[in-house]
Amino acid sequence: MSDGRSSESGFPIKAVYDAADVPAGLDARLGAPGTFPYARGVYPTMYTSRPWTMRQYAGFGTAAESNGRYHQLLAAGTMGLSVAFDLPTQMGYDSDHPIAHGEVGKVGVAIDSVEDMRTLFDGIPLDRVSTSMTINAPGSVLLLLYQIVAEESGVAGTALNGTIQNDILKEYIARGTYIFPPKPSLRLVADTFAYCRKEVPRWNTISISGYHMAEAGATPVQEIAFTLANGVEYVRAALAAGLAVDDFAPRLSFFFVARTTLLEEVAKFRAARRIWANLMRDEFGAQDPKSLMLRFHTQTAGVQLTAQQPEVNLVRVAVQGLAAVLGGTQSLHTNSFDEAIALPTEKAARLALRTQQVLAYETDLTATVDPFAGSYVVEAMTDEIEAGVRELMERVAGYGSAVGAIEVGFQKREIETSAYRIAQEIDSGERVVVGLNRFAVDEEEPYEPLRVDPAIEAAQAGRLARLRADRDAGAVERSLTDLRTAASGTENVLYPMKEALRARATVGEVCGVLREVWGTYRPSDRF
**pLDDT tens profile 166-198:** 999 999 999 899 999 999 999 999 999 999 999
Report DSSP state, residue 139: H
Are 507 and 112 within 8 A, CB to CB? Answer: yes
Are 112 and 460 within 8 A, CB to CB? Answer: yes
The CATH-assigned architecture of domain 2-42+52-428 is Alpha-Beta Barrel (3.20)
Count Cβ atoms within 10 A of the Cβ of residue 326 and give its class: 0-12 exposed, 13-18 middle, 19 or more buried: buried
User: What per-residue confidence (pLDDT) applies to 60?
Assistant: 85
Q: CA–CA separation, 68 vs 65, rounded Å?
A: 5
Q: CA–CA separation, 525 vs 359, rounded Å?
A: 46
Tens of pLDDT, residue by residue over 458-503, are: 999 999 999 999 999 999 999 999 999 999 999 999 999 999 999 9
Three-state secondary structure string covering 13-44: EECCCCHHHCCCCHHHHHCCCCCCCCCCCCCC
Per DSSP, what are the bridge partners of residue 208?
Answer: 254
Residue 525 pLDDT greater than 70, yes or no: no
Tens of pLDDT, residue by residue over 57-89, are: 878 889 999 999 999 989 989 888 989 999 999
Among left, alpha and beta (phi > 0; psi -120 to 50; other), residue 408 is alpha
Q: CA–CA separation, 474 vs 468, rounded Å?
A: 11
User: What per-residue confidence (pLDDT) applies to 403?
Assistant: 95
Is the sign of the CA dihedral 451, 454, 456, 457 positive or negative? Answer: positive
Q: For the stretch 85-108, what's the b/e string if a residue is b when 16 or more beta carbons lie within 10 angstroms of its beta carbon?
A: bbbbbbbbbbbbbeebeebbbbeb
User: What per-residue confidence (pLDDT) applies to 526?
Assistant: 54
Q: CA–CA separation, 456 vs 64, rounded Å?
A: 11
Q: CA–CA separation, 317 vs 177, rounded Å?
A: 26
Assign 5 to helix, strand or coil: strand
User: What per-residue confidence (pLDDT) applies to 328?
Assistant: 98
**DSSP β-ladder status, 12-14 and 2-6:** antiparallel
Residue 283 pLDDT greater than 60, yes or no: yes
**Per DSSP, which regions of 141-215 are E strands?**
162-164, 203-204, 206-209
**Per DSSP, which regions of 69-222 are E strands?**
80-84, 130-134, 162-164, 203-204, 206-209
DSSP sequence for 29-88: HH--TTSTT-TT-SSSSGGGTSPPEEEEEE--BSHHHHHHHHHHHHHTT-SEEEEEB-HH
Are 214 and 260 within 8 A, CB to CB? Answer: no
User: What per-residue confidence (pLDDT) applies to 138?
Assistant: 98
Other beta carbons within 10 angstroms of residue 523's beta carbon come to: 13
User: What per-residue confidence (pLDDT) applies to 3?
Assistant: 55
Q: CA–CA separation, 409 vs 209, rounded Å?
A: 18
The pLDDT of 348-352, averaged and rounded, is 94
Q: CA–CA separation, 85 vs 115, rounded Å?
A: 15
Q: CA–CA separation, 403 vs 169, rounded Å?
A: 8
Count Cβ atoms within 10 A of the Cβ of residue 495 and give its class: 0-12 exposed, 13-18 middle, 19 or more buried: middle
User: What per-residue confidence (pLDDT) applies to 354?
Assistant: 96
Q: CA–CA separation, 226 vs 315, rounded Å?
A: 29
